[in-house]
Amino acid sequence: MPSEWRTGLYRYDFEKPLAELDHRLQELRKDAERKGDASALRQLEAQVEGLKRRIYGNLTAWQRVQLARHPLRSYTLDYIQLIMSDFLELHGDRLYGDDKALIGGLARLDGHRLLILGHQKGRETRENLLRNFGMAHPEGYRKALRLMRLAEKGRVPIVIFIDTPGAYPGIGAEERGQAHSIAYNIREMARLKTPIYICVIGEGGSGGALGVGVGDWVAMLENAYYSVISPEGCASILWRDKAKAPEAAEALKLTARDLLGFELVDEMLEEPTGGAHHDPARVAGRIKESILRFWKSVESVSTDELLRRRYERFRRIGIYTTDFTHTLLARSS
């Protein structure tokens, strides 16, 4: 097997057996074409499918984090191209500049007008530098709020794709009010008078995600994650060892299945075996169906009721019991 196996669909250690079989499969396909005998090919294809089911049917939280970061995974602009039309990108926060890590604009979905926002990463080093690896600056969050207020004026529904390791923590970003811009967005999004649909399509990193993460419906792709801190960051703080990231990922309960169980998200969208990058069109179709279902569910809901539901949705987050509180008070006295 070539040493560059990590550059393809299978790039992580737990996928190496598949990479090896896939390489053999490609060789057998060439032989089958040359010899006209496909029996061995069919046998190996069945073996590959069985191995895929075993590997991807028992993924750990850390392995899902790795799939969420896969460089071939679709990003916001990919999904816009796959399911939307007439996209017109809008730029700038009208205060400092434009942020290419967080994009936004007007588009249509099945003829319906919408405002689309989303984090955008790059495929190659040059594009990743341009997009700042999907880590937005304050001007990105201010741009997002400016566009959302524009949508609110015409009660145009908002669709947001989240895919960021976190907000950019650089000195310049802090000087320009990174924390304030995120906190301000959270408050303002809670009272925007238009429907807001959110889908975590990859990484949902802390405040970088929350800065555009307040809405009426929050969906997650099956192998996406949403967390207050990255597994590596958590491991570095708790154990002073980034190598313990897999243990941290389990403890953080950051997968779509975990968060659906905690009622922190409303829907988990299944991915093809192996991850969203194995069939982007199918995943895009599922996202589109989810958006249309959400729109249908709120089309007759009044603005006041929409805001009330949104407020209650976030007020319900977290578990509180008076018995537990009394126990803590008793122990501290």
Average pLDDT over the chain reads 90
Of 247, 152, 135, the C-alpha closest to 194 is 152
Q: Which residue has the tokens 């779509």?
A: 256
Report domain extents, the chain. Answer: 10-58, 66-315
CA atoms within 13 Å, Cβ hemisphere of 15: 20
Backbone dihedral angles phi then psi of residue 203, each to the nearest 5 degrees: -90, 135
Q: Is the pLDDT of residue 27 over 90?
A: no
What is the pLDDT at residue 156? 97
* pLDDT-above-90 percentage for the chain: 77
The β-bridge relationship of strands 102-109 and 112-119 is antiparallel
Distance (Å, whole) CA 238 – CA 245: 10
Question: Contact at 8 Å (CB) between 137 and 173?
Answer: yes
* pLDDT-above-70 percentage for the chain: 89
What is the pLDDT at residue 330? 57
Model confidence band, residue 333 (pLDDT cutoffs 50, 70, 90): low
What is the pLDDT at residue 326? 56
The stretches of 57-137 forming alpha helices (DSSP H) are 61-68, 76-83, 125-131
What would the pLDDT profile of 223-260 be if each residue is shown by its tens digit? 999 999 999 999 999 999 999 999 999 999 999 999 99
Name the pTM for this structure.
0.90
- Rounded mean pLDDT of 121-128? 94
Question: Contact at 8 Å (CB) between 158 and 117?
Answer: yes
Q: Is the pLDDT of residue 45 over 80?
A: no
What is the pLDDT at residue 1? 45
**Matching CATH number, 66-315, of 3.90.226.10, 3.40.50.300, 3.40.50.1580, 3.40.50.2300:** 3.90.226.10
Distance (Å, whole) CA 178 – CA 198: 21
What would the pLDDT profile of 159-206 be if each residue is shown by its tens digit? 999 999 999 999 999 999 999 999 999 999 999 999 999 999 999 999
The stretches of the chain forming alpha helices (DSSP H) are 16-35, 39-56, 61-68, 76-83, 125-131, 138-153, 171-175, 178-189, 206-210, 231-238, 245-252, 256-261, 280-298, 303-315, 322-332
Strand-pairing partners, residue 116, are 105, 159
- Rounded mean pLDDT of 208-214? 96
Distance (Å, whole) CA 290 – CA 266: 11
What is the pLDDT at residue 22? 77
- The tokens of 246 are what? 């897999």
DSSP per-residue string spanning 280-327: HHHHHHHHHHHHHHHHHHHTT--HHHHHHHHHHHHHT-S---HHHHHH
What is the pLDDT at residue 36? 55
What would the pLDDT profile of 272-330 be if each residue is shown by its tens digit? 999 999 999 999 999 999 999 999 999 999 999 999 999 999 988 876 666 655 555 55
Total count of residues recorded for the chain:
333
- Rounded mean pLDDT of 261-268? 94
What is the pLDDT at residue 69? 96
What is the pLDDT at residue 4? 45
What is the pLDDT at residue 328? 52
